[in-house]
Amino acid sequence: MAALLYSTNCSLDGYITDEQGSFDFSDPSPDQHQFINDRMRTVGTHLYGRRLYEVMRVWEDFDPAELSPVEADFQEIWRATDKVVYSATLDEVPTPRTTLERSFDPQTVREFARTAEADVLVGGAMLAAEALRAGIVDELSLYVAPCLLGGGAKALPDGVRQQLRLVDTRRFDNGVVVVTYLRA
């Protein structure tokens, strides 16, 4: 059985973007990027909300010759992974290996993850909030940056109470700490 993962960058006060929608605080250091790459190798499918998909799809178009080795590695991993985009407003998803779904059904996603051969990663604050509220996230990883944003999009939704078990922590050269939890 594959796991349903939620992994995100966030500020120390729990935001993934500031009030203007910027996430410029979260650029990974090379050692953090390599760690993320290694973790992404276990993922067979990314589940995206529209906004995160629009951010991530640039990885399809970058010229690998202009990327650092760790970025080029990430691009290769991203391109090789299936993607499902949940959006009521997009008409199409132009990247290869990508399908468009109009609505997110937590039980369908749970069953998909249960039968998948590789892990499934849910991304985007709103989509992840639905998965967390439904109690279907198996593993939660927060890459906590050493900054306060004071507002913006929350990494975790209000109204969710769940016991978790800490399974890993790691510190990176840029001061980011990743904390990884499993459902208790």
How much is the pTM? Answer: 0.96
- What does the pLDDT look like over 114-166, one tens digit per residue? 999 999 999 999 999 999 999 999 999 999 999 999 999 999 999 999 999 99
Domain 4-156, CATH: 3.40.430.10
- Residue 29: count other Cβ atoms within 10 Å of its Cβ: 14
Give the list of residues 6+ apart from residue 25 with CB closer than 8 angstroms, or none: 9, 11, 18, 145, 147, 149
Mean predicted confidence (pLDDT) in 49-71:
96
pLDDT value at residue 1: 78
Residue 60 clears pLDDT 90, i.e. is over it: yes
